[in-house]
């Protein structure tokens, strides 16, 4: 990338908060709950968790117990989950993870784990059901002159972490494309009952919020500059079983249209993550359906193919979950894709 990390921090006031990952990690005490960004390997902090793991390892060697609660949007990557699990630094993990080291700790009873629906996490935190959120460590792709934050490649629970945490550490990742700016839709209209109102979304293309995170800037205690890629697992080619499953689903959809129970352009698609889901999306791309839309959890490889062919007109999600080749395709043609992708908080 030609941009240096410093070029993404346009607020002179916040530029004074720049520190190393080690200095930022040294601020986090044992026993706190930390909300970290990240959703399926996209937009997670790349430097502070590793520095914190090294600090915890030093504490362990000195005979001191050091553990924190780790709350995220979903799974992250080895630099976060794996690093902290390896040094036995997590006392509670929620709401979802896929790291093998963490899994072993959970199954052995050495790490508490709360497996709850991903869309319920933000509400549970606002209600106080999960306890106090003390710290947030959130990756962003830039900071504007007025201090508003340009989100990264995932939204997840980041809005809630930034709103409710007492203290915030930001990672500004210059690897993330600057063209992500404007793709996000952060909704600040939620409220607790009895003041809650219906969320005014009736189609995937609706925008109901703003493109930036905004909150009291005095909560920011440190900013770390990074230039590191997201880490998502590549998809394997569809096998015969996946293709047969996809074929059955596509036949079902065609019959529903024929019977008049679905419109010709179908209803908004919600796609799971993985090889079977991508096989279905590939089938849709090769089939006769057009003018499709999607309101889903993540944007994955097959959805990019549908957009590229023109069959998918709009997709709303909370994160990207792309193979390395698909990520190159996205960032190489982001001017076009950003017209048809909206990233939202996961509870929305």
pLDDT in tens, 204-262: 999 999 999 999 999 999 999 999 999 877 666 678 888 899 899 999 999 999 999 99
Q: Work out the pLDDT band at 154, boundaries 50, 70, 90.
A: very high
DSSP for residue 32: -
**Which is the catalytic residue, given 79, 171, 297, 347?**
297
Structural domains of the chain sorted by starting position, each given as residue range(s) with its CATH number in brackets = 5-226 (3.40.1080.10), 240-343 (3.30.750.70)
List, in order, residues 6 or more apart from 139 with CB less than 8 Å away: 37, 38, 43, 44, 45, 46, 152, 170, 171, 172, 173, 176, 226
Q: Supply the pLDDT for residue 237.
A: 63
Output phi, psi for 180, to 5 deg.
-65, -25
The answer on pLDDT for 6 being more than 90 is no
Across the range 287-313, mean pLDDT stands at 94
Across the range 33-44, mean pLDDT stands at 96
297 is catalytic: yes
pLDDT in tens, 260-294: 999 999 999 998 877 888 889 988 998 899 999 99
Q: Supply the pLDDT for residue 7.
A: 78
pLDDT in tens, 91-147: 999 999 999 999 999 999 999 999 999 999 999 999 999 999 999 999 999 999 999
Predicted model pTM: 0.94
Q: In the chain, pLDDT over 70 holds for what percent of residues? A: 97
């Amino acid at each position: 990338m030609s941009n240096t990390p410093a070029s993404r921090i346009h607020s002179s006031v916040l530029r004074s908060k720049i520190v190393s990952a080690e200095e930022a990690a040294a601020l986090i005490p044992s026993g706190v709950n930390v909300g970290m960004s990240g959703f399926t390997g996209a937009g997670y902090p790349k430097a502070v968790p590793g520095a914190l793991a090294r600090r915890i390892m030093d504490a362990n060697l000195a005979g001191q117990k050091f553990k924190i609660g780790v709350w995220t949007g979903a799974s992250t990557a080895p630099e976060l989950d794996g690093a902290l699990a390896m040094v036995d630094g997590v006392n509670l993990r929620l709401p979802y993870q896929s790291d093998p080291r963490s899994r072993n700790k959970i199954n052995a009873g050495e790490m508490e784990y709360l497996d709850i629906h991903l869309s319920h996490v933000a509400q549970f935190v606002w209600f106080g059901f999960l306890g106090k959120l003390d710290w947030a460590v959130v990756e962003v792709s830039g900071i504007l002159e007025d201090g508003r934050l340009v989100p990264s490649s995932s939204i997840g629970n980041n809005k809630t972490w930034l709103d409710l945490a007492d203290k915030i550490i930001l990672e500004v990742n210059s690897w993330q494309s600057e063209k992500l700016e404007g793709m996000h839709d952060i909704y600040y209209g939620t409220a607790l009952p009895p003041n809650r109102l219906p969320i005014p979304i009736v189609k995937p293309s609706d925008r109901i919020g703003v493109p930036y995170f905004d909150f009291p800037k005095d909560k920011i205690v440190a900013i770390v500059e990074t230039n590191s890629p997201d880490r998502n697992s590549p998809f394997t080619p569809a096998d015969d079983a996946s293709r047969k499953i996809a074929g059955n689903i596509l036949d079902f959809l065609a019959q529903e249209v024929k019977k008049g129970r679905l419109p010709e352009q179908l209803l908004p698609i919600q796609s799971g993550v993985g090889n079977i889901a991508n096989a279905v999306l590939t089938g849709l791309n090769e089939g006769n359906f057009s003018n499709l839309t999607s309101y889903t959890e993540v944007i994955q490889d097959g959805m990019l193919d549908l957009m590229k062919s023109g069959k998918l007109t709009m997709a709303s999600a909370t994160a990207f979950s792309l193979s390395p080749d698909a990520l190159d395709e996205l960032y190489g043609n982001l001017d076009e894709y950003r017209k048809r992708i909206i990233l939202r908080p996961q509870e929305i």
